Amino acid sequence: MTSMRSASDPQPHGRGNFLSPAYLWVAGLQGWRALAFCAALGAVANLALPPFHIWPFYALSLSGLIWSLDAARLAPRPRRAALWRVASFGFAYYLVGMHWIAWAFLVNPDSYLIFIWMPLIALPGLLSAVLAGTMFLVYPYWCAGPARLIIFSVAFMFAEWFRASLFGIGGFPWDMPGMIWAPGEAISQSAAIWGIYGLSLLTVVAMASPAVLTDSRQRGSPASRAAPLIVAAIVFGAIWGWGARRLGEAPMTEPTGALVRLVDAGVPQHVKHKPEAAEPIVERFLRLTGPSTANTPKIVIWPEGALPYYLFRWDPALRAVTDTIGTRQLLIGVPRIEDLGGPNEKAFNSLAVLDGGSDVHGAQAWYDKHWLVPFGEFVPFSGVLKNIGLKTLQDLAPGGFEPGPGSQTIEVQGIPRFAPLICYEAIFPGYAPNGADRPEWLVNITIDAWFGQLFGPGQHAAQARYRAIEEGLPMARVASLGETGMIDGYGRWTARGAPADPALYGTDPEGWQASVVDARIPAALEATPYSNWRDGLFWLMLVGLNLGLFVLPRR
């Protein structure tokens, strides 16, 4: 059998069980072959994430990466070899999982194609640098025994948390490891206790545990190697059982709350800001909303950026909207200008609550988006980047939107208390108000038309569903060319948007994909442990996991 020589153990060996031949094959990969292998593992790991949820691929990828880190000790410069292997894994992992961001740069290619290197090279490069840098710091403590599972898991999850908090602008907590578990199913329910970060930590440990079934130690019993995998199986068996029981005690029933109409005109993003499309977009939304009658839902929701201009500066459109709303109320994503005059004028990406008289007395309530999308809605480090011609992808405020004050619960007569989450805000755990300000439901409006029809819209919807689980709150979600519908406090769809019936709503213009769904708001659940404790349990778990270093064999 091929041998493996550890830098810290002069004896050549590769032992454990039936996995030893595969382990020794990985050990034989050096140089560019090792980097290519790690990149392949990073790409394959995405089959475990939304919209696929084939979780064994995550176990394969993380276990393979640990074996490759074992083999890095055979390189002339082990720590540097480990750095580049993790960087190769991370670059492919983030590139494949987030490649859909590049679609936004193709909406207006004449202006933005020159910057497509940002989502295809700069973003995965930056995120992989965070992951590789973290592993580089802990690699001096790498060991041959099962304890390396703890070193790897703590470093991997700390890096994931850190990239979710980058730059003080909210980071990018997209596709956390815990999202390999489909929202609304049994294991996902545990996010109500420890949130997506806590579930992600447990997921990384469990998915990496097969790696310790074999190692380079000359000694070590099969039981000591199998123990982490057995414990992981027991823990996730208990999590699944608890989640299944939780869902079993809450069978799917028809909600009895207020009736809401969710409307998306399905306008392709490249069409939206063409001058000739402005009036057809307004007319299509009004046709889909329908007249105000005794039987129509009293609450209507349109997506983020539903209309392509500042509505309160577009009097004919505003009057048409309020006339159609009549006795109902409309929650609409619409930009607004704060008129301070001259260079102090500020633009906001907002949600407004309108009624039939809002053309006279203004909106009943406003919410200004707080977490803005870097480069989409504002340019970070603008003093430098604007000098090379970089501006925001949206055209309504080329200088960028201003951030709002933060999460809030909106109280308007006729609408149950709700908390808005505009687009990007739905990917941030713990953003919704809690305590005395806890709302009765969440409203997520978004433009998913920026990101094509591949991974992006499904991934975005999955993250929104996790927010519902964490908070124990129902959510109405209206996504322009995305997944629209009503979600209960367990993360399950209770209603899904369907193509608008041409007999009722007329025919879509070519390339448009309108959807309409009438759905009742499910009841809110009791405040969850996560809604009370936020990420406190995650940090306790992260610290407690290190105690495993005193239990698991290192050599």
Do 162 and 130 lie in one domain? The reply is: yes
**Which pLDDT score is estimated for 9?**
44
Return the higher-pLDDT residue of 343 and 127. Answer: 127
Amino acid in position 42: G
Mean pLDDT of 257-280: 93
The pLDDT of residue 546: 87
pLDDT score recorded for residue 345 = 83
One domain for residues 115 and 236? yes
**Residues 444 and 399 reside in one and the same domain:** yes
Average pLDDT over residues 417-437: 95
Question: Quick one: pLDDT at residue 376?
Answer: 72
Domain check: are 223 and 370 in the same one?
Answer: no
Contact 160, 62 (CB under 8 A): no
Q: Which residue shows structure tokens 């990828």?
A: 61
Is residue 444 in some structural domain?
Answer: yes
- The reply to whether 379 and 466 lie within a common domain is yes
pLDDT tens per residue across span 374-409: 777 776 655 545 555 556 666 677 678 889 999 999
On whether residue 6 sits in a domain, the answer given is no
Q: Residues of 90-104 as b/e, b for ≥16 C-beta within 10 angstroms?
A: bbbbbbbbbbbbbbb
First CA to last CA distance, the chain: 22
> Which pLDDT belongs to residue 554?
64
Is residue 405 assigned to a domain?
yes
Is the same domain home to 367 and 268? yes
Q: Assess if residue 16 is contained within a domain.
A: no
In a domain, 335, yes or no: yes
Please check whether residue 445 is in contact with residue 301, taking contact to mean a CB–CB distance below 8 angstroms. yes
319-362: per-residue pLDDT in tens?
999 999 999 999 999 999 987 666 678 899 999 999 999 999 99
Residue 267 has pLDDT above 50, yes or no: yes
Would residue 423 show up in a list of annotated catalytic residues for this protein? yes
More confident residue, 138 or 309: 138
Asked about 304 being catalytic, the answer comes back as yes
Count how many Cα atoms sit within 13 Å of the Cα of residue 141 in the half-sphere of its side chain. 15
CA angle 535, 537, 543 (to 5 degrees): 110
Is residue 16 predicted with pLDDT exceeding 70? no
In a shared domain, residues 228 and 209: yes
pLDDT tens across 542-552, in order?
999 988 877 77
In a domain, 447, yes or no: yes
293 shares a domain with 234: no
User: Residue 5 domain-assigned?
Assistant: no
- As a whole number, mean pLDDT of residues 38-64 equals 98
Give the pair of three-digit tokens for residue 101. Answer: 């961001």
Helical packing angle, 278-289 and 315-325, nearest 10°? 10
pTM of the model: 0.94
Q: What pLDDT was estimated at residue 382? A: 52
Residue 522: pLDDT band with limits 50, 70, 90:
very high
Per-residue pLDDT, averaged over 207-231, amounts to: 89
Residue 170: pLDDT band with limits 50, 70, 90? low
pLDDT of amino acid 379:
65
Q: How many domains does the chain have?
A: 2
Q: Are residues 475 and 510 both part of a single domain? A: yes
What rounded mean pLDDT belongs to the chain?
Answer: 91
Q: Tokens 């629209």 correspond to what residue?
A: 484
Query: Would you say 446 and 423 are in contact if contact means Cβ atoms under 8 Å apart?
Result: yes
Mean pLDDT for 224-252 is 96
Q: What is the pLDDT of residue 480?
A: 96
The residue count for the chain: 555
pLDDT tens-digit readout, 431-472: 999 999 999 999 999 999 988 888 899 999 999 999 999 999
Options 38, 423, 471, 483, the catalytic residue: 423
Residue 143 appears among annotated catalytic residues: no
At 4 the pLDDT is: 47
Question: Which of the residues 38, 160, 369, 483 is marked catalytic?
Answer: 369
Q: Is 266 left (phi over 0), alpha (psi -120 to 50) or beta?
A: left
Helix, strand, coil shares of the chain, percent, nearest 5, are 50, 15, 35
| Residue 10 pLDDT grade (very low, low, confident, very high; cuts 50, 70, 90) | very low
Residue 31 to residues 37, 128, 133: CA-CA distances in angstroms? 10, 19, 19
Tell whether 402 and 482 lie within a shared domain: yes
Q: Which two tokens stand for residue 408?
A: 């809030």
- 139 and 65 in a common domain: yes
- List, in sequence order, the alpha helices (H) in 420-499: 455-471
Residues spanned by the domain of 243: 23-249+536-550
- Nearest to residue 152, comparing CAs of 89, 208, 71? 208
> 160 and 276 share a domain?
no
User: Angle 222-248/191-208 helices, nearest 10 degrees?
Assistant: 150
Q: In this structure, is residue 441 part of a structural domain?
A: yes
Q: What is the CATH number of the domain that holds 465?
A: 3.60.110.10
Q: Among the options 38, 160, 304, 391, which is catalytic?
A: 304
Tokens found for residue 316: 């004919």
